[in-house]
Amino acid sequence: MVFVTKFDGTRQPFDRNKVIGTCIKKGVNRAAAETIADMVESKVYDGIPTKKILQMIFAALEPHRPAIKHQTNLREAISLLRSKPDFENFVQLLLKEHGYKVDPNRIVRGKCIEHEIDAIAGKNGETILVEIKHHFDHHTRTHLDVSRQVRATFEDLVEGFGLGLNSVNFSKALIVCNTKFSEHARQYAKCRGIACIGWNSPPEHGLEQMIEEKNLHPITLIKGLDAKTEEKLGDNGVILVRQLIEHDLDKLSRRTGIKKDKLAILMKKAREIISG
Amino acid sequence: MVFVTKFDGTRQPFDRNKVIGTCIKKGVNRAAAETIADMVESKVYDGIPTKKILQMIFAALEPHRPAIKHQTNLREAISLLRSKPDFENFVQLLLKEHGYKVDPNRIVRGKCIEHEIDAIAGKNGETILVEIKHHFDHHTRTHLDVSRQVRATFEDLVEGFGLGLNSVNFSKALIVCNTKFSEHARQYAKCRGIACIGWNSPPEHGLEQMIEEKNLHPITLIKGLDAKTEEKLGDNGVILVRQLIEHDLDKLSRRTGIKKDKLAILMKKAREIISG
């Protein structure tokens, strides 16, 4: 059996089905995915880093999906968004596209103190306190401290509502982050009824799946987008690949101060990514 | 009116009574303190940093209290202790000397998860959950996140006790840290019945006062003690100035691996500080 080495140094058996899954997620058909998996399987060696496998897959996908060469890894792309306001805005958009009514960040009075809330989301009669957490290092975990803070805030707000200090009848709390959760954080949150959305968590319904399902890729997915340009776009509310192509080149260049030729290249790449 | 500039850049009127207070705390009599305050008052200028005033006071105190030349500032000294285990052990000692029964850190099962408790303290029939927080930057504040985490942990442990998952009947929570608390943290903690001990907080009964009252000065108060030596002493349970002089030079040198001549100098300084 061939073992692969994950980013955190742990090893696990090579799984050809994961290769197929990645390919299909990128939009190629089953037959092509199988062919790519055959190629990868023939080349893996004991101890190969998963990052190297991902590079192989991306290279093999290019003939099928030419726009892939313009894309960085989604997980890395999200980590490159500014924490505030871009990742917060990104999560708010994500929730809206998935049928939530979303109020952006505001201050709500609890029993003991006023709390800064990242977002208030509503769906199916629930009013949800949303805590948004962004890590630049996407390989880290979101830990127990966040779950405990959310629990204490939720308690304070609910008691504040009972005392007539606020008019937001929170029924639930939700943490959205760009990493996985530590086991301790997950266990505590579950026990306290706090929902958790993070990278691949919950499995099959995590952040990645919410993005792919509605094509809500962040602009940082575009290869060659530097931090300064990302900020200028973010300051003008452009945080999704698809938002970039909704704009008129001249107007957006004037508004953001990004040079026209630079912006034209980014928009061309964005169009290719979208049309896939 | 002459204004002084505090470390955080804010300004406040020069207060001669504060100079007198500092001198008396250092053990000189009222008359000598008044004389020093006169000298300082004649030298302050608008915008003078409070640090400069403290240096003037220390220099003026030297003839009265020769051991002062061997001492760094207490607030800075505490920040120089290692967070773990030295500051934790230091706080446990402090609580013991102030009449608490103290169990060191352990794991206790709550309703949702197991929690790592920094200490469990008992006094007057109360069983107190103690959270110990150490900052290297003693000018920072201990913020709301700590108060909220302690609240959530306390709730989980109390509910765990109710369910028979642990046998520690916590009645109260306490945060001990080496900085001041943010206003938000203090307000929330008070409302949730969490006691807070920090630098000068509560005023007149804070960490500084607890130390001075029982002469529990940390070894880092000794000028010229480097970090490596502090670690070697800490690893052998020596974290107070007064613990240092309780030891036999030869034995302590062998146990810690600190050279005898170096250790002898430290012990001499410690003796002078203690005898004041």
Which chain A residue has its CA at the smallest distance from B185's CA?
Answer: A113
Q: How confident is the model at residue B88 (pLDDT cuts 50, 70, 90)?
A: very high
pLDDT at B154 over 90: yes
Given CB atoms, is A230 within the 8 Å cutoff of chain B? no
For residue A19, the surrounding DSSP H or E stretch is helix A16-25
Name every chain B residue with its beta carbon within 8 A of the beta carbon of A149: 145, 148-149, 152
pLDDT at B104 over 90: no
- Mean pLDDT calculated for residue range A143-170: 98
Given CB atoms, is A144 within the 8 Å cutoff of chain B? yes
Q: Do B191 and A152 touch (CB under 8 A)?
A: no
Report the pLDDT value the prediction gives residue A7, as an integer from 0 to 100: 78
The distance in angstroms from the start CA to the end CA of chain B is 36
Give B112→chain A minimum CA distance, Å: 5
Whether A146 contacts A180, CB under 8 Å? no
Residue pLDDT, tens place only, B177-214: 999 999 999 999 999 999 999 998 898 899 999 998 89
Task: Give the single-character DSSP code of B67.
Answer: G
Q: Do A112 and B148 touch (CB under 8 A)?
A: no
Report the pLDDT value the prediction gives residue B267, as an integer from 0 to 100: 95
Q: Do A148 and B144 touch (CB under 8 A)?
A: no
Q: Do A191 and B152 touch (CB under 8 A)?
A: no
User: What value does the CA radius of gyration of chain B take, rounded to a whole number of Å?
Assistant: 21
Give B152→chain A minimum CA distance, Å: 5
User: Per mean pLDDT, which of A169-178, B31-40, B42-51 is the most reliable?
Assistant: A169-178
Q: How confident is the model at residue A70 (pLDDT cuts 50, 70, 90)?
A: confident
**Most A CBs within 10 Å, among B149, B156, B159, to test the A interface:** B149
- B/e letters for A4-32, b = 16+ CB within 10 Å, e = fewer, are bbeeeeeeeebeeebbbebbeebebeeeb
Given CB atoms, is B170 within the 8 Å cutoff of chain A? no
Chain B stretch 171-200, residues whose beta carbon is closer than 8 A to a beta carbon of chain A: 184, 187-188, 190-192
For residue B97, the surrounding DSSP H or E stretch is helix B88-97
User: Looking at B55-213, which runs of residues are DSSP E strands?
Assistant: 101-109, 114-123, 126-133, 141-142, 172-177, 180-181, 194-197
Residue bearing the bigger pLDDT, B161 or B27? B161
pLDDT at B276 over 70: no
Q: Do A191 and B112 touch (CB under 8 A)?
A: yes
**Most B CBs within 10 Å, among A107, A109, A113, to test the B interface:** A113
pLDDT at A36 over 80: yes
- B/e letters for A131-168, b = 16+ CB within 10 Å, e = fewer, are bbbbbeebeebbebbbbbbbbbbbbbbbebbeeebbeb
CA gap A54, A77 in Å, rounded: 15
Report the pLDDT value the prediction gives residue A93, as an integer from 0 to 100: 97
What secondary structure does DSSP assign to A199-249, as a single string? Answer: TTBSTTSSHHHHHHHHT--BGGGBTT--HHHHHHHHHTT--BHHHHTTS-H
Q: Which domains does chain A have, with CATH numbers?
A: 3-64 (no CATH), 83-213 (3.40.1350.10), 218-275 (1.10.150)
- Mean pLDDT calculated for residue range B137-149: 95
Q: Do A149 and B153 touch (CB under 8 A)?
A: no
Residue pLDDT, tens place only, B244-262: 999 999 999 999 999 999 9
Which chain B residue has its CA at the smallest distance from A153's CA?
Answer: B148
Given CB atoms, is B109 within the 8 Å cutoff of chain A? no
Bridge-based pairing of strands A194-197 and A141-142 is unpaired
CA gap A96, A257 in Å, rounded: 29
A-to-B residue pairs, Cβ atoms closer than 8 angstroms: 47
Select from A111, A156, A188 the Cβ nearest to the Cβ of B112. Answer: A188
Q: Do B184 and A113 touch (CB under 8 A)?
A: yes
Which chain A residue has its CA at the smallest distance from B189's CA?
Answer: A112
Pick from A36-40, A52-56, A70-74, B189-193: least confident:
A70-74
Report the pLDDT value the prediction gives residue B24, as an integer from 0 to 100: 86
Report the pLDDT value the prediction gives residue A254, as an integer from 0 to 100: 96
Given CB atoms, is A156 within the 8 Å cutoff of chain B? yes
- Asked whether the bond before A85 is cis by omega within 30 degrees of 0, the reply is yes
Residue B201: CA atoms inside 13 Å, Cβ hemisphere, count? 22
Report the pLDDT value the prediction gives residue B72, as an integer from 0 to 100: 79
Which chain A residue has its CA at the smallest distance from B115's CA?
Answer: A184
Whether A14 contacts A3, CB under 8 Å? yes
CA gap A244, A248 in Å, rounded: 9
Select from A112, A187, A192 the Cβ nearest to the Cβ of B188. Answer: A112
Name every chain A residue with its beta carbon within 8 A of the beta carbon of B144: 113
CA gap B33, B28 in Å, rounded: 6
Give A49→chain B minimum CA distance, Å: 34
Q: Do B152 and A156 touch (CB under 8 A)?
A: no
Average pLDDT of chain A to the nearest whole number: 93
Q: Do B191 and A113 touch (CB under 8 A)?
A: yes
Residue bearing the bigger pLDDT, A156 or B68? A156
